[in-house]
Amino acid sequence: MVKDPKRVQRLVSSGLLSGKDAGILDSASQAHQASRKGLYFALAIGTIGLISVTILGIQNFSYRTKMEKQSDLMATIDGLEKKLETEASPGVDLPEKALHSAADKTLLVAKLRAAERQLRQLQDGIQAKDWVNTYSNPLGLSIHRILQQFGKQNYIVPDLFIQRVERHIKTFSHPKNRSHGILKASFARKAKYYPLIERELLRENMPTAFFYVAMHESALDPLAISHAGARGLWQFMPRTARQYGLHVPQNWRKLPAKADERTDPEKSTRAGVKYLKRLMVEFGDVALAMASYNAGEGRIRKALRKIDDPINDRDFWYIYRLGILAKETNEYVPKIIATMIIDKNRSRYGF
- Domain end, chosen from 108, 126, 144, is at 126
CATH of the domain at 343: 1.10.530.10
Report pLDDT for 92: 46
| Whether 137 and 247 share a structural domain | yes
Higher pLDDT, 313 or 323: 323
Task: Assess whether 202 and 274 both reside in one domain.
Answer: yes
| b/e per residue 229-263 (b: at least 16 CB within 10 A) | ebbbbbbbbbebbeebebebeeebeeeeeeebbbb
Indicate if the alpha-carbon torsion angle 81, 85, 87, 88 is positive or negative.
positive
Same domain, 136 and 232: yes
Kindly give, in sequence order, each residue whose CB lies less than 8 Å from that of residue 320, ignoring residues fewer than 6 positions away.
91, 160, 330
Are 28 and 120 found together in one domain? yes
Average pLDDT over residues 84-102: 51
Last residue of a domain, one of 126, 159, 176: 126
Is the Cα torsion angle 194, 337, 331, 110 positive or negative in sign? Answer: negative
User: Domain check: are 249 and 119 in the same one?
Assistant: no
Domain limit, last residue, from 94, 126, 158: 126
Q: How far apart are the first and last CA of the chain?
A: 84
pLDDT > 50? residue 245: yes
Between residues 110 and 349, the one the model is more confident about: 349
Number of domains in the chain: 2
Q: Are 177 and 108 part of one and the same domain?
A: no
Residues 156 and 272 grouped into a single domain: yes
Same domain, 258 and 326: yes
pLDDT digits (tens, 9 = 90+) for 175-194: 999 999 999 999 999 999 99
Distance CA 201, CA 351 (A): 27
Q: Is the pLDDT of residue 166 over 60?
A: yes
Instruction: For residue range 218-236, list pLDDT tens digits in order.
Output: 999 999 999 999 999 999 9
pTM for the full predicted model: 0.66
Based on the fold, state whether residues 263 and 203 are members of the same structural domain.
yes
Long-range contacts of 200-204 (CB under 8 A, 24+ apart): 200/269, 200/270, 200/273, 201/273, 203/273, 204/273, 204/274, 204/277
Distance between CA 100 and CA 312 in Å, rounded? 24
**Domain co-membership, 121 together with 137:** no
Are 265 and 178 in a shared domain? yes
pLDDT digits (tens, 9 = 90+) for 51-88: 554 544 444 445 556 656 666 666 776 676 667 666 54
43 and 138, same structural domain?
no
Q: Give residue 44's domain range.
A: 5-126
